[in-house]
Chains A and B, each alone.
Chain A
Amino acid sequence: QSALTQPRSVSASPGRSVTLSCTGTSSDVGGSTFVSWYQQHPGRAPKLILYDVNKRPSGVPDRFSGSKSGNTASLTISGLQAEDEADYYCCSYAGTSYVFGTGTELTVL
């Protein structure tokens, strides 16, 4: 299975909103309600920030939201903060396998 496609890098200013995309196929993102997103700071383990497309685990701020349309899932971060600067990975679960995205490096200018 090929990795899901994410933009390599995105930048935005503090306080603004940014949307990160994750594009797959009908065999993964398009055919699954189980899309999750992970935030990874340099040298750290990934952290789950969204699951089942748009659900937030306890402790994740509501500035993080998710959606899906067709074969593309999206992560929107509103009210950007310096601490949001990190790599973001999407992941699609298709019954017996998982495919991650190529990752987006988010820079908060």
Chain B
Amino acid sequence: QVTLRESGPALVKPTQTFTLTCTFSGFSLTTTGMSVSWIRQAPGEALEWLARIDWDDDEFYSTSVKTRLTISKDTSKNQVVLTVTTMDPVDTGTYYCARLTPYGASFDYWGQGTLVTVSS
């Protein structure tokens, strides 16, 4: 059974650096073709893809926020970490991690999401 769970601070101050952790089970990021992504959703708004990390350590980022994001993985802990620098109130929203179908065309399993508010 595949599960993913996001964890991290619920409140972040503007300009701070912020880290979210996705802890997953039921699959391994050492398996060829496996990938995990981060997706966010501002309140009342659409989904926005942020980043992806692959089994072979390849990383991909949304061009709109690329300079502020870092995605990494710890395969021994079954975790994927997203770091976002220079947080701004517009970064407020629910952050989801999601597994991708093999070789990464769609998101087949999602975490429940974690709401992050950026406010002083």
From A48, A52, A98, A102, B46 is in contact (CB under 8 Å) with A102
Interface size class, chain B: 20 to 34
- A99 located at the interface, meaning its Cβ lies under 8 Å from any Cβ of chain B in the complex: yes
Cβ contacts under 8 Å, A52 to chain B? 105-106
Q: Indicate whether B24 reaches chain A with its CB closer than 8 angstroms.
A: no
Q: Is B62 in contact with chain A by the CB < 8 A criterion? A: yes
Residue of A with least CB distance to B97: A45
> Which one of A12-20, A67-75, A77-85, A88-96 is at the interface?
A88-96
A51 within 8 A of B: yes
CA distance A3 to B64 in the complex (A): 12
Give me 15 other A-B pairs in contact (C-beta within 8 A), A38-B47, A91-B106 excluded. Answer: A1-B63, A1-B64, A34-B106, A36-B105, A36-B106, A36-B107, A38-B107, A45-B96, A45-B111, A45-B112, A48-B106, A51-B105, A93-B105, A97-B62, A101-B46
Q: Which residues of A contact B (CB under 8 A)?
A: 1, 3, 34, 36, 38, 45-48, 51-52, 57, 89, 91, 93, 96-103
